[in-house]
Amino acid sequence: MSDIFSMTGYGKGVAEQDGRKATVELKSVNHRFLDLGLKLPKSLMFAEDGLRKAIQKSISRGHIDLFISFDDDREKQQNAFKVDYDLAAKYVLAARELQGRCLIQNNFYVSEVMRMPDVITRETEEEEDEDFIARLVMQACAHALDSLNVMRRREGESLAKDLLAKLDNIEATIPKIEQLAPKTLEEYRDKLSARIKEYLQEVPLDEDKLLNEVAFFSDRICIDEEITRLHTHISHFKEILKDGGAVGKKLDFIVQEMNRETNTIGSKCNNAQITECVIFLKSEIEKMREQVQNLE
């Protein structure tokens, strides 16, 4: 059996180089189509397009949330702040001149000088290389996708095994229905004959008319086509599982068709034992429907 993927999973990837670290986390849940929710800091928005393409290449269906963080752990420069001493001296000189001319007290202390514009500035590191950061982010995303797909594949394989087990249960029940179906006709013929005799009493029973009525009823309750289509759907279901890949939508359609045929069988056969079998089939098919909706 080829790889089968669930739509739910979690993956985390980390990439580090030259004191910088990118961390990408991916969380996926069920969705009819591929729906991406990327939560990037503004400083990494330039990497969004590459991240989207990487996810789209690896995943075909599901709601994917991506969380990303970027840390720069390089040692900070010793002189993190730069003092413009010449500018500070000019502010002090201006304060003294203002004191002398206006005859006011000079309360221009160091703390006031530090607050003056451009006296103290923070030294900024060289502008980051976007290509370098993008490569680091994409490496982290690749690791996260690998981790996510490992979980999705493991859960997908588990779902596939359970689906096959339910198909076996359905296949084991169909022959029971085939064996019980003729009894429905026999019961109808016996009940109809007894009812007619009760009404007619002494009048002889017209066997030809009775046979015509039974034949008409037989045609109405015939489930051969439904049984054949059920077998066909089961075979097709197994083939799709064997091929693997994005199988969810195809299998969901087949499950709907299986349920339709089962409902028809139940409506045609008015037999308590067949009704029990139909209820069992519908229960197994409903469980399959819920599981199929988890597959990519």
For 17-31, how does the pLDDT look when each residue is reduced to its tens digit (9 = 90+)? 988 899 999 999 999
**Is the pLDDT reported for residue 77 higher than 50?**
no
pLDDT bucket at 276, cuts 50 / 70 / 90: very high
Check the CA dihedral 166-168-171-176 and report its sign: negative
**Is the pLDDT reported for residue 96 higher than 50?**
yes
- Computed over every residue of the chain, the mean pLDDT equals 83
Q: Mean pLDDT, to the nearest integer, of 118-126?
A: 65
pLDDT bucket at 208, cuts 50 / 70 / 90: low
For 134-174, how does the pLDDT look when each residue is reduced to its tens digit (9 = 90+)? 999 999 999 999 999 999 999 999 999 999 999 999 999 99
For 99-111, how does the pLDDT look when each residue is reduced to its tens digit (9 = 90+)? 777 767 767 677 7
Would you state the pLDDT for residue 61?
92
For 222-250, how does the pLDDT look when each residue is reduced to its tens digit (9 = 90+)? 788 889 999 999 999 999 999 988 899 99
Contact (CB, 8 A) for 83 and 123: no
- C-alpha separations of 9 from 33, 147, 156, 178, 293 in Å: 16, 9, 10, 42, 14
Q: Mean pLDDT, to the nearest integer, of 174-199?
A: 67
